[in-house]
Amino acid sequence: MKKQITAFSLFVLIILFFVQGEVPLEIIPYIHDDQQAVAPVSSETSSLYEQLEEAAKTYNEPPVDAVVDKVWKGIPGYNGRMIDIKASYEKMKKEGSYDERKLVFEDISPEVHLEDLPPTPIYRGNPQKPMAAFLINVSWGEEHIPAILKTLREEKVKATFFLEGKWVQKQPKLAKMIKEEGHEIGSHAYSHPDLNASSRADIKKELQQTNEALEAVLSVKPKLFAPPSGSFNQDVVDIAADMDMYTILWTVDTIDWKNPEPFDMAVKTASKVDNGSMILMHPTPSTAEGIKEMIRIIKEKNIELDTVSNLFDETRIR
C-alpha cells in the first residue's frame, strides 16, 4: 500500500536527486502535496493532465457567431465548448485514470448574437445544433388540432403554433388548449393577407391587431411572426422588428395543404430534415395522421424536436 512520504524519505529523495540527477519514476506516485496525491502516471508517456489536454484537441469547439447568410438570411449563433481541464482532473484524480464520462465542459458564448443582426427573415436554426422545429400555421383546420396535440403530447414534442388573430378570437378554447399544452405561440397576422402587396400602414395594423388578440385571449406577447403564405418584403421584416418580433419562414415544407398521403408526406419531409431545420405544416388531415411517423424518423436521425425559440437559443444541447 502506498503511504504518505515521511521526512526521512524526503531526505533520501534529495540525496538521490543530487547523486543521480533525477528522482526515480517508480516513487513519484508516493509524493503528496498538501495531503493530496498527485495524479499517478497512467502510461509510460502521458500523465492524466496530458491525456486531458489531448482530449481537448478532439472535444473543444469554437463558438459560432450569428450571421446574415446570402441564402438562408439570419442564422442564430451557437455556443462553443471547451474541456475544463482543472475541473475534469479533480473528478478523475481519485481513480487516477482518464475517464471520458467524467469530462467537465464549459460553454463559450459567440461574439455576435441573433439580436445583433439587422432585421432579416430567418429560415433555419444553426446547422451545428442537432435540433429542428415544427412550425404549425393556423387560420383554419381547427377540427384536426386535437389529434395533432394528442400526438405531440404522446411523443413529448413541443412545437411553435403561429396563430391568426381573427382565428384566435373565433376559437379561444382551442387557442388556450394549444398554450396549456406548453407549445410556443407566434403571430400569423390578423386576416391572412398578402403582406407583400400591403401598405406599411396595413402591415402594421395586421400585426398590431394580432398581438392585441393574442394578449387578450392568451396573455401572450409573441416574439415570432410568420407571414401568411410566406409573402413578405423588407417593410414587413422591419415593422415586425419594430414590434420586437423575428420574421420566420421555413426550411422544409410538408405541402400538407395539398392533402398528400400521410405516410408518404412524413417520409418525404423527414428525409429533408437536418440540424436547424424548421418544418412548415398546417392542421390538415395529412399532418394529423402523418406527424407521428415524421417525429419517429426525425428522432432516428438523432435530431431533437423543440420550439423555434429553443432552436434559436445558443445553448448547446450535447
Rounded Cα distance, 5 and 268, in Å: 68
CB atoms within 10 A of CB 199: 10
Rounded Cα distance, 318 and 316, in Å: 6
Rounded Cα distance, 192 and 162, in Å: 12
3-class secondary-structure state, position 68: strand
pLDDT tens sequence for the chain (318 residues): 444 445 445 544 444 444 455 544 444 444 444 444 344 444 433 589 899 999 999 999 999 999 999 999 999 999 999 999 999 999 998 888 899 999 999 999 999 999 999 999 999 999 999 999 999 999 999 999 999 999 999 999 999 999 999 999 999 999 999 999 999 999 999 999 999 999 999 999 999 999 999 999 999 999 999 999 999 999 999 999 999 999 999 999 999 999 999 999 999 999 999 999 999 999 999 999 999 999 999 999 999 999 999 999 999 997
Range(s) within the chain of domains with CATH label 3.20.20.370: 119-312
3-class secondary-structure state, position 151: helix
Inter-axis angle of helices 48-59 and 85-92, nearest 10: 130
Rounded Cα distance, 160 and 162, in Å: 6
Please state which architecture CATH assigns to domain 119-312: Alpha-Beta Barrel (3.20)
CA distance to 7, 8, 29, 30, 96, per residue, from 23 (Å)? 16, 15, 11, 12, 20
Which has the closest alpha carbon to 224: 149, 281, 163? 163
Backbone angles phi, psi at 107, to 5 degrees: -75, 140
Q: How far is CA 195 from the centre of its chain?
A: 30
Rounded Cα distance, 121 and 243, in Å: 14
